[in-house]
Structures are given as C-alpha cells and as structure tokens.
C-alpha cells in the first residue's frame, strides 16, 4: 500500500548556465545552519570538482539535504549545460518536484528548455524562482510571461502551468513573493517547497526497491551507489539482489548505509522509503541497475537518455615524446579508465575497435568530451585523441545527421558577420528579435558538425562580446559538405629545440603556437598557416656564425607572442589528419603521419600509405 512520506521532499535545481543555481543552494545551506558560525565557507560550495570551480559551471549532479520545520529537503544540484544532460535525465526519477531558476534579465534559455522538458514529461511540479532580481535591467514581468510560454510550448498540463513564483537575490540570501518585497531570509522559499511540491509516494512496508542513479567513489569505501528508496527499507549487512540491464540477478550484501545531512553523508543503521541514500559494498553496480529484495525481486524501468552526437578516438600515445610525462600510458590502463567512466556516465559510450590500442568514445558534445580529457590528464593519463566527428543515422535508407538549435545574441555591429558565418555552415535562421538594449537575438538550426570549431570564429567575429547557446535538435537529412576550416597548419620538419631565428622565419607564414626553447618533433604542428594548405617549416634552424655575425644577434629578432591554445581550442582546431597528444603536463597537436615524406606520399596516393 502506497502512502506519502510527508517528512521528506526530494527536489532538483534546474537552470541555464550561470543563472545562480549553485549560489542559491549555498544560501539555503547557510540559512539552514548547516555551517558553524565561525566556519569558513567557500562560494559555490556544491561545485566541489576542481574543473567546476575553474570554469564556473556545474558538471556533476550532486545532492545535499537541509531541514525546515521538521521536514527533510533533499536537494539535487544539476548541470545547466546540455552536454551534461545525461546527468540531468537520470536524476529526474529521484525527485518529485523542481525549482526552475531563471535570470531576471535573460529569462528562460536553451538549456532551461532542455532540462524542463524532462521534468514535465515525468509529471513533476515546478516552482519558478526569478533570481538576480537586483540587476539594473531586471524585467521580472517579461521573464514570467516568457516562462509561462515555455511551459505551454513544452506541453505542460494546466496544473503544471499554474506554477508559483518567487523572487530572489541568491548572493545576499534574500527572497520574497514580490520583486520589490524581499525578506532577508529563504523562509518564503522553504515554505513554498513544503506547500507546492509533493512528498514522495512510497510503499514503506513493501519489498526493497532502489535504482542506482548516481555513482561516487571513496578510496576507503570503494564504489558508492546513490538512489532513492522507492519502497521498503534497507540496512547495514542486509542481503539484497542486483538486477542489471540484461535482467541478470546478482546476490549482494550491503556494507554501509548513508543518508545526507547538509554536505555530509551520515552513516545510519537503516533507511526508510522516500529518502535518498548512499550504499557501499555493492561491487560492480551500473547506472540504472535495480537493488531489490532477493525474495521478491522486481526490476525498475531502465534509465533512458538521449543518444550521443559526437565520437572521438582515444589511443595510446604514439609520438616520439610518449611515456615522458604520464603515469598511465598503456592501453590496458586507458581502456580500464574509459569503461569506468562509461559505467558512471550513462550519456557516454565506449567501444573497442579493431586496434587494441584505440577506443571509440561517443559523447554529447565537445565540452562533454573535453571535460573527460581534462579529468584524465589531471589523473596522470597520457594518450592521443582524434578530431570529433558527428554520428550519422540511417533513416528510411537516407543518412541523417544531428542538428543543434543555436541561439546567439550580438550587438548590431557584428550581426552581419555572425549570420554569414552560420550561413556558410548550413545554418537556417528560424527566429530573429531585438532586445531592449538594442542587441540582436537570432535562433538558427545548424548541423552539429557545422559547429565543430565554430566557437573560436564566433568569438573573433564578435570581438568576444557575443553570446551563444546550443541545444540538441534531433536528426535531419544530411545537409551536404560544410567548409569548417579555411587554413592549414605549420608543421615542424625536424626534431630539436625551437630557436628565435627559426620561429622568426616561420611567423611570417602564419600564427605560432610555441615559443623559443620549446622541444618539437617532426610532424608536430607549431602554428596555423595563413593559407589553406599545410606548410613544413624548420623552427629549429640556427643562424650560421661567421666572422661577420655575432652569436648574440638572434636577440635582436622580434617575435610575436605565441597563441596559447586551451584544451577546448586545440580540440576545435584539429583537422581529420591530425591528433591531439595529451599528457599531464602539456598537450600538442600533431599530424597522424609524422615523417614529411610519408605525408606527401599519402596525399599523392589518395589516402593510402605504403607501410
């Protein structure tokens, strides 16, 4: 018999990137007296991952808990970027309602639509929180109107569209039911959560049933499985049954049971239905597996996420510098790490290839793949990756490719350049409007492969002032050839150490990526050519000394500062015949075929190289 667990609320925080979602969680934690009065507290305390703090975005779904008026409120902080949509899709079955956070100026944005659609499809109620109400250009009435339109467009029921609205300034911890009547606390928000969002519907006396939704790892406890207890109860040393995706049964024993209190996991002897719990000792559990009663096994529906759109290959580093900087350099270690990631991240697929040293990795977007690469290099892995390529599907005997809904906001001075750039990449304009501040807002439908390498061109064309957001828009018939790269590479033709003299001669042919005294090898990309073709350059060349030339005359050469590429920039730059060598200390762009003579033979023979 099911009943409502009135002492619990399970909610998710959803919003677009940088709308203040994690900051609002901070305010709720502080006002719940989670921290001691004299305890130093970092900003965005929920963004615990180093990359999250550096980039200012949430990457991994995390949960915390606060208590108000005797009710435990489990809060799941979700990513706002569509590339990490897999994190969002799987936590929606853990919650019963959502807080939809929107900026008081920007209103609902593309990633807001993406996450909200999944919440509404599961029948969740929403509370709309208009944040940053103190901004000078705040327009709350307009934002609420647009949010209501979004609910209607996404097929919300009448009950879902009658959402309550609150206004906040998350930085100061102020909240209220009117934009000009804020209180100095989060009490109105807590009260609305208790009144408007339902308690979990559970069967406390039924057989155990829990779905593995999130994964954690502890050096001492091993793998930690997180999920909501739908029915029954679970305790320390209980014997349970795991049902995997193939419906195979695996008997297990629970080592420890934890519930959440603030930012901490508190070990308990037993947890009851409705709560979000963390379990240890369950071994090789995968996302979506069901933990159930051995005497009454009943599997929950598998977690479904949207398909990946991009693939790259990860391979063992084969450059002349291989093994110098990495701790984990073998194919066995690389394969092991990638398959661990695919078990944790349901939106990531990893497959073996014909080569034992190369693995095919499919993800949601360049940022999704880029974060994986950055995490692995920080862990000590050394490997090489290829240019991202889109995944094509055959539908009705025709090839279809993934599309993106692209929203750009630019000043009037740069609108022509942006429209032209997207037009060249087969972009179709589907909407255009003028903002209150005079800037132009465009919505395009663009093939995903047309956006590979586009971000850098967009920022250059708008002098860094443009805003761009993307959202997966389904599959459509193949749009034909798209010219995405209009330049070649400057390629080192001999190994050695780059000299000022050699770089000075090379910089006249393009933009350099390296400076003097950088060690290079044959086939390494050292810069971007101003023309479409690749050019071999000798950056290690030294000036010949005679009686008429002094050894210090190189000092008079003027070198332009090299262009420093980030990891994301390097991924975007790659051509089909190039690889990105990634190590814990550095990353280098290189040609697939390093020797100059073999590359020329490759071009003459139409892609076939003699071995």
Check: CB of residue 501 under 8 Å from CB of residue 542.
yes
Burial class (CB in 10 A: 0-12, 13-18, 19+), 248: exposed
CA nearest 431: which of 153, 137, 160? 153
Secondary structure (H, E, C), 541-599: CCCCCCCCCCHHHHHHCCCCCCCCCCHHHHHHHCCCCEEEEECCCCEEEEECCCCHHHH
Binding residues for GTP: 18-23, 131-134
Binding residues: 18-23, 131-134
Phi and psi torsions of 590, nearest 5°: -145, 160
Check: CB of residue 223 under 8 Å from CB of residue 285.
yes
Burial class (CB in 10 A: 0-12, 13-18, 19+), 251: exposed
- 197 vs 192: CA distance, rounded Å: 8
CA nearest 541: which of 573, 565, 506? 506
- 98 vs 198: CA distance, rounded Å: 10
Q: Count the residues in the chain.
A: 611
- DSSP 8-class letter at 407: E
- 422 vs 240: CA distance, rounded Å: 54
Beta bridge partners of 206: none
């Amino acid at each position: 018999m099911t009943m409502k667990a009135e002492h619990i609320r399970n909610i998710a925080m959803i919003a677009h990137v940088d709308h203040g979602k994690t900051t609002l969680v901070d305010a709720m934690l502080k006002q719940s007296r989670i921290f001691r009065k004299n305890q130093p507290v970092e900003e965005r305390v929920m963004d615990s991952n180093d990359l999250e703090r550096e980039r200012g975005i949430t990457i991994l779904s995390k949960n915390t808990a606060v208590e108000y008026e005797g009710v435990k409120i489990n809060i799941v902080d979700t990513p706002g970027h569509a590339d990490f949509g897999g994190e969002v899709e799987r936590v929606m079955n853990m919650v019963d309602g959502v807080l939809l956070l929107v900026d008081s100026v920007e209103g609902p944005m593309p990633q807001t639509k993406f996450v909200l659609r999944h919440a509404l499809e599961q029948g969740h109620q929403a509370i709309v929180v208009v944040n940053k109400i103190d901004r000078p250009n705040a327009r709350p009435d307009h934002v609420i109107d647009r949010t209501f339109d979004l609910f209607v467009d996404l097929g919300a029921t009448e009950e879902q569209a009658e959402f309550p609205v609150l206004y906040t300034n998350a930085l100061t911890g102020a909240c209220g039911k009117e934009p000009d009547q804020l209180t100095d606390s989060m009490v109105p928000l807590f009260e609305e959560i208790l009144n408007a969002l339902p308690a979990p519907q559970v069967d406390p006396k039924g057989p155990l049933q829990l779905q593995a939704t999130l994964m954690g790892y502890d050096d001492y406890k091993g793998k930690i499985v997180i999920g909501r207890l739908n029915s029954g109860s679970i305790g320390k040393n209980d014997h349970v049954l795991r049902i995997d995706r193939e419906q195979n049964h695996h008997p297990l024993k629970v080592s420890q049971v934890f519930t959440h209190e603030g930012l901490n996991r508190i070990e308990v002897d037993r947890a009851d239905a409705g709560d979000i719990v963390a379990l240890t000792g369950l071994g090789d559990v995968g996302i979506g597996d069901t933990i159930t009663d051995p005497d009454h096994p009943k599997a929950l529906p598998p977690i479904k996420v949207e398909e990946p759109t991009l693939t790259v290959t990860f391979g063992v580093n084969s450059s002349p510098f291989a093994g110098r900087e990495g701790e984990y350099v073998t194919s066995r270690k690389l394969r092991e790490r990638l398959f661990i990631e695919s078990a944790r991240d349901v939106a990531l697929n990893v497959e073996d290839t014909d080569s034992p040293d190369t693995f095919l990795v499919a993800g949601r977007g360049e940022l999704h793949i880029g974060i994986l690469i950055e995490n692995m290099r920080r862990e000590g892995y050394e490997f090489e990756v290829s240019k991202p390529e889109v995944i094509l599907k055959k539908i009705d005997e025709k090839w279809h490719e993934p599309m993106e809904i692209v929203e750009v906001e630019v000043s009037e001075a740069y609108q022509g350049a942006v429209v032209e750039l997207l037009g060249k990449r087969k972009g179709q304009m589907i909407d255009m409007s003028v903002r209150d501040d005079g800037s132009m807002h465009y919505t395009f439908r663009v093939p995903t492969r047309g956006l590979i390498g586009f971000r850098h061109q967009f920022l250059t064309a708008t002098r860094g002032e443009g805003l761009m957001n993307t959202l997966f828009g389904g599959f459509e018939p193949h749009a034909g050839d798209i010219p995405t790269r209009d330049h070649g590479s400057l390629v080192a033709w001999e190994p050695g150490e780059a000299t000022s003299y050699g770089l000075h001669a090379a910089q006249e042919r393009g933009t350099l990526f390296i400076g003097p005294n950088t060690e290079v090898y044959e086939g390494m990309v050292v810069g971007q050519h101003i023309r479409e073709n690749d050019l071999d350059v000798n950056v290690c060349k030294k000036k010949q000394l005679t009686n008429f030339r002094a050894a210090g005359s190189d000092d008079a050469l003027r070198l332009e500062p090299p262009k420093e590429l980030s990891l994301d920039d390097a991924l975007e730059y790659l051509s089909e015949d190039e690889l990105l060598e990634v190590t814990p200390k550095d990353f280098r762009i290189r040609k697939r075929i390093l020797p100059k003579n073999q590359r020329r033979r490759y071009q003459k023979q139409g892609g076939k190289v003699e071995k």
